[in-house]
Amino acid sequence: MSQFESIALIGPGRVAHQLGAALHDQGVTIEGVYGRNAEETKKLADKLDSRVIVNLSDVIQADLILLTVSDDAVAEVSHQLNRNNKGLVVHTSGAVPLSAIEGPNRRAVFYPLQSFSFDKHIIWENVPFCLEAENDEDLNGLGGLAELLSQRIHVLSSDQRKSLHLAAVFANNFANLMFELSEDLLAKAEIDRSILHPLILETANTVLMQSANLSQTGPAARGDKKTIEMHRELLGEDNSYREIYDRLTNEIYNRSHEQKL
């Protein structure tokens, strides 16, 4: 069981909805919910058997004040909190340092590494939680809370979390862009996009088994210039597909070549 007996959620967005509901399901009390949009805030408070916090400057009766606001709002919102709150103030962002939370609050970070891309069912046991705190007691407390949902718990510094956030842009946003470009090419050739789904799953599963640089295949890794020229011709000139193809093909070619030296 978590050492936090009650939690306040500040910012009733997607993370608050998902994380609040998951914690509530685990028997954690959601003491109150604060948000600028009265209707959304009320809706979330009702869902979580909680109450609406009207002013941030009120004393909040919660052990943990969880900021599920946008990155930019962390500093401002923590500044507006009542200084007499006894709770630990925690933000949930990958890109924001611990120090963005204003003192004299006790501060920490509770970052679920997950793309909350649409209204989907989150499988919390697969979600890594990245924690940072100013002392072991708070860190252990947050560890206990995360353990209610997942065994994947990592203690990272603000600098490490920043690098992780950047790495996640490559692994999620940029990989997703590659899937999007491939879907465009299939659509143009009148092929159903589902034909690539087994290969996409295979690509992801392979990187789980061994480092991605060991499993690179294809014309660029082989240095198969004939196939590369055929692809470039097919893409045509002066378009994003061709530019991206050239840039990434060169990158794979150079990396594969370096490894062989």
Burial label for 193, CB within 10 Å (0-12, 13-18, 19+), is middle
Question: Among residues 57 and 163, whose Cβ is nearest to its own copies?
Answer: 163
The Cα–Cα gap between 226 and 89 comes to 58
- Say whether residue 171 binds its own copies (CB under 8 A): yes
Ranges within 47-86 binding its own copies (CB under 8 A): 71-72
Q: Under rule CB under 8 A, how many of the chain's residues touch its own copies?
A: 92
Site track for its own copies across 1-40, x = CB under 8 A: ----------------------------------------
Ranges within 194-233 binding its own copies (CB under 8 A): 195-221, 224, 226-227, 230-231
The Cα–Cα gap between 144 and 141 comes to 5
The sign one gets for the Cα dihedral 23, 24, 28, 33 is: positive
- Say whether residue 103 binds its own copies (CB under 8 A): no
Please, what is the minimum distance in Å from the beta carbon of residue 165 to its own copies?
8
The Cα–Cα gap between 211 and 223 comes to 21
Please, what is the minimum distance in Å from the beta carbon of residue 19 to its own copies?
16
Beta carbons of 90 and 64 less than 8 angstroms apart: yes
Question: Among residues 226 and 260, whose Cβ is nearest to its own copies?
Answer: 226
Please tell me the number of Cα atoms within 13 Å of 121 on its side-chain side: 1
Please, what is the minimum distance in Å from the beta carbon of residue 91 to its own copies?
14
Please, what is the minimum distance in Å from the beta carbon of residue 220 to its own copies?
6
Question: Among residues 21 and 186, whose Cβ is nearest to its own copies?
Answer: 186
Candidate ranges 17-25, 28-36, 140-148, 252-260; the one touching its own copies (CB under 8 A): 252-260
Question: Among residues 55 and 240, whose Cβ is nearest to its own copies?
Answer: 240
Question: Among residues 6 and 203, whose Cβ is nearest to its own copies?
Answer: 203
Pairing of strands 6-10, 153-155: unpaired
Q: What are the CB-based long-range contacts (under 8 Å, 24+) for 76-81? A: 77/10, 77/11, 78/102, 78/105, 78/107, 80/56, 81/56, 81/57, 81/105
Say what angle helices 240-260 and 175-188 make with each other, to 10 degrees: 120
Return the residue of 24, 42, 47, 152 that touches its own copies, per CB under 8 A: 152
